[in-house]
Amino acid sequence: MAIIEVDNLVKRYGDTTAVNGVSFAVEEGEIFGILGPNGAGKTTTVECVEGLRSPDSGTIRVGGLDPRRDEDKLRDLLGVQLQESQLPEKLQVGEAMELFSSFYREPADWRKLIESLHLTDKVGTQFRRLSGGQKQRLSIALALIGNPKLAVLDELTTGLDPQARRDAWDLIEDIRARGVTIVLVTHFMEEAERLCDRLAVIDAGRVVAIDSPAGLVSAVDDRQRIRFRPSAPIDHALLTALPEVTAVERAGSQLVVTGTGDLLLAVTTTLARNKVVAADLRVEQTSLDDAFVALTGRKIDN
């Protein structure tokens, strides 16, 4: 069942069309990614979903509600992660949790929430004294305090070091395990690939593809690449004659063989028959990065 339905959303800022006919549906219980480069229209899209902006046209339903008209009811359903700059510097962690609890009719037990986010020893600490990772965890706690069915996390891991980023990923998986549907806005490929059940790739205000990470990759390309150093020269024609092989290239002392199907078996068998050993052999599959380039014609700018 879809918890979010966005149909033909258009949002302009003056002459800039930030979102240009975006449609997607998020199913209950999934982690749905919105992936795209900076300026693609991701934040504008989720801000419309959150009821923070009015679409110029198109329709949005969140749990059957219209985010602009049913703002109060929406707040019980949807947890929104605050941007860092929206919290007063001197507010203590515990005070922030108390304050935000008071916004909801049936808030979660904030002490338990803080504990599960490893912030218990920071209850008396001012916001400005928290590390980047702790601030992010606090903003997640605040997003979850109303016991939402749905949480929108926008660029959650931007600015975090690799360890803090991995911790945030574990945390997102924990939140999903509690039954919360998650919309994750990101421009990190690895994050999208690791966490999302499905994702919408957005570029220049439009959805260019919606699928699982694996589906996006295979829709774009099912080619594989094998790279190795042959122990003796081998006639390329022996390899190009194989039905699995589409190309053979030399890269320094290495051969790069591209193809489909049982490529590895076909190539290694032929090499063995010709008494050639493949040293340093590596199989490379198309990545989500490659898929993104194929879909949008450029690399995402991390």
Asked if 53 is part of the footprint of ligand ADP (rule: CB under 6 A), the reply reads no
Q: How far apart are CA 286 and CA 120, in angstroms?
A: 43
Q: Toward ligand ADP, which CB reaches closer, 151 or 202?
A: 202
Round to whole Å and give the CA distance between 202 and 9. 13
Interface positions, 138-177, toward ligand ADP (CB under 6 A): none
Pick 41 or 259: Cβ nearer ligand ADP: 41
12-20, 54-62, 144-152, 228-236 -> range binding ligand ADP (CB under 6 A): 12-20
> Which of 36, 63 has the CB closer to ligand ADP?
36
Closer CB to ligand ADP, residue 36 or residue 213? 36
> Which one, 41 or 51, has the nearer CB to ligand ADP?
41
Beta bridge partners of 256: 227, 249
**Strand residue runs (E) in the chain:** 2-13, 16-27, 31-35, 57-62, 78-80, 150-154, 181-186, 198-203, 206-211, 224-230, 245-251, 254-259, 278-285
For 234, list phi and psi in degrees, rounded to 5: -130, 140
Q: Which CB atom, from 50 or from 167, has the smaller least distance to ligand ADP? A: 50
Q: Which is nearer to ligand ADP, 41 or 133 (CB)?
A: 41
3-state DSSP assignment of residue 161: coil
Query: In the structure encoding, which two tokens stand for residue 275, read together?
Result: 């008494």
Tell me which of 3, 4, 6, 18 binds ligand ADP, using CB under 6 A.
18
Give the list of residues 6+ apart from residue 169 with CB closer than 8 angstroms, or none: 157, 191, 194, 195
Stretch that binds ligand ADP, among 10-18, 94-102, 133-141, 173-181 (CB under 6 A): 10-18
C-beta atoms surrounding 47 within 10 Å: 20
103 three-state secondary structure:
coil
Q: Which two tokens stand for residue 162?
A: 């690799």
Q: Does residue 13 belong to the site contacting ligand ADP (CB under 6 A)?
A: yes
Shortest distance (Å) from residue 44 CB to ligand ADP: 3
- Contacts of residue 163, defined as CB under 8 A and 6 or more positions apart, other chains included, come to none
Q: What is the CA radius of gyration of the chain?
A: 24
Residues near ligand ADP (CB under 6 A), total: 11
Give residue for tokens 């992660």: 81
CB of 21 to ligand ADP, least distance (A): 14
* Smallest separation (angstroms) from ligand ADP to the CB of 158: 11
> Tokens 């150093």, residue?
229
Smallest gap from Cβ 55 to ligand ADP, in A, equals 13
The 19-48 site mask, x for binding ligand ADP (CB under 6 A), equals: -----------------x-xxxxxxx----
Residues, the chain, total?
A: 302
CB of 301 to ligand ADP, least distance (A): 11
For the bound state, the minimum distance from the C-beta of residue 20 to ligand ADP, rounded and expressed in Å, comes to 10
Question: Where do contacts with ligand ADP occur on this chain (CB under 6 A)?
Answer: 13, 16, 18, 36, 38-44
